Amino acid sequence: MPRRSHFAASLFATLLLAVVASQFSDSSLRQCTAEDSTEEGFKPAFNDKDLSGWVAVNTAPSTWKMQDGMLICSGKPIGELRTERMYQNFVMELEWRHMVPRGNAGVFVWADDITARGVPFHRGIEVQVLENAYGNTRSHTTHGDIFPIHGAKMTPVNGRGGSRAFPTEERSNPSPGWNHYRITCQDGNISLAVNGKVVTQGKDCSPSKGYICLESEGGVVHYRNVKIKELPDTPIAAEHVAIANRDYRCLYNGVDFSGWHIGENVTGNWKSNDWVFSYDGKAKSGESAIESVDKFEDFGFVFDIRSKENSGVAQISLRDSKGTTISIDPSDEAMKKHLGGGWNRFEGTLVGNVLNLSINGQPAITDRTLDDATKKGSLRISPDGPVDFANVFVRKL
């Protein structure tokens, strides 16, 4: 047979094998999900129309949408969508696919109500959703790692000396193929089945009751057939329950400055950098302010701040008045003792003219009566040097 004929035959055989393998893989996935779907007790996590039952914690309206029976995540900004209610013992099934190579996402279980200090993610247990091209190393794989994050705890089964649990097999399909996850959470133990087989496990998790989150982290990812089967609750100590809903809402959407007023002279000095927004310190003195469109009376607040070299003093006016201003001055000894390196979290309440404030979880101001406190006003940020902000949340009291 001529060389060209040999080549053509070989090419045809290769393509035929690829098609058969692809059909077998997709058929196996369909069979797996079809078998699982007959199990009683599962309820759909989405209604195929909107995000009812879920909270967009720190993302934009454009981040998540329902389309053609799928939940589509744009990947921008980095952030999370969580359930409205907590879960303790449950089984969750879903199918996912990344639409770009090296795509990154995750499913969080037993998570807090809002994101942890200085990050766009919750404290909780993460089930990794990585696209195969991201690559495998000793520190991570693309086949369903499980690990505690941002203060949560877990003892891994099949670990490598740390807190991360690694899969015993490589079973995930590359983009744009679909993958099926079955996540079982019971009495502080967690297991993950990838495309029909359990490969990753963890135990002794804390928290072991909390919210379920889907993560946006840069790449377009699709979810479908997301469903949850609740199992009976079991006794649990209070310290293993995640922080319950406090009705916080995020004032910054991670995409733009919708919901904020920025003066024309400083529009170019404020930058929306994904989950962080920053001031470059270059505006004229007294013209650096940004303030929320919404105005507040009695309310609770959270914000994270990261100083830079020559940051100077950042003033946060809780009701856009001098009488309600918190001055964050790294050189002030009273303030300095509460601050750490990197990100610092300020959390407090303003009720009437009484302020309570904690910094990095430690009380800083207790029942301080503020003079000249206005009854209602916007949240105003006025830095006099370069500085980063993130996780700006408010709640009505």
What Cα–Cα distance (Å) separates residue 389 from each residue in 80, 117, 271, 276, 356?
Answer: 18, 11, 11, 6, 21
**Cα distance between residue 347 and residue 221, in whole Å:** 33
**Cα distance between residue 97 and residue 243, in whole Å:** 30
**Cα distance between residue 92 and residue 82, in whole Å:** 14
Q: What is the CATH number of domain 250-396?
A: 2.60.120.560
**Cα distance between residue 319 and residue 299, in whole Å:** 10
**Cα distance between residue 279 and residue 380, in whole Å:** 13
* pLDDT given at position 331: 85
What are the helix (H) ranges across 38-77?
A: none
Q: Which two tokens stand for residue 327?
A: 């001055």
3-class state of residue 21 by DSSP: helix
Find, among 122, 281, 120, 328, the residue nearest to 212 by Cα: 122
**Other CB atoms within 10 A of residue 198 CB:** 15
* pLDDT given at position 194: 98
Query: Which residues are paired to 202 by β-bridges?
Result: 156, 190
Residue 217 DSSP one-character state = -
**Cα distance between residue 363 and residue 306, in whole Å:** 19
Residues of the chain under the 70 pLDDT cut: 1-38
Q: Look up tokens 């004032």; give the residue.
A: 251
* pLDDT given at position 354: 97
Q: In this predicted model, what pLDDT tens digit does every residue of 228-240 receive, in sequence order?
A: 999 999 999 999 9
> Can you name the CATH fold of 39-244?
Jelly Rolls (2.60.120)
**Cα distance between residue 130 and residue 108, in whole Å:** 14
**Cα distance between residue 256 and residue 122, in whole Å:** 22
**Cα distance between residue 40 and residue 37, in whole Å:** 8
Are domains 39-244 and 250-396 of this chain identical in fold?
yes
**Cα distance between residue 65 and residue 49, in whole Å:** 9
**Cα distance between residue 130 and residue 133, in whole Å:** 8
Domain ranges (residues) in the chain: 1-38, 39-244, 250-396
* pLDDT given at position 285: 81
What Cα–Cα distance (Å) separates residue 51 from each residue in 54, 64, 72, 107, 333?
Answer: 6, 8, 11, 16, 46
Q: In this predicted model, what pLDDT tens digit does every residue of 40-53 receive, in sequence order?
A: 999 999 998 999 99
DSSP 62-102: TTEEEETTEEEE---SSEEEEESS-BSSEEEEEEEEESSTT
**Cα distance between residue 104 and residue 109, in whole Å:** 17
What are the helix (H) ranges across 300-383?
A: 333-336
Find the helix or strand (DSSP H, E) in which 34 lies: helix 3-37
Q: Would the CA dihedral through 10, 16, 19, 25 be positive or negative?
A: negative
**Cα distance between residue 14 and residue 25, in whole Å:** 16
CB 311 within 8 A of CB 329: no
Query: Which residues are paired to 306 by β-bridges?
Result: 343, 388
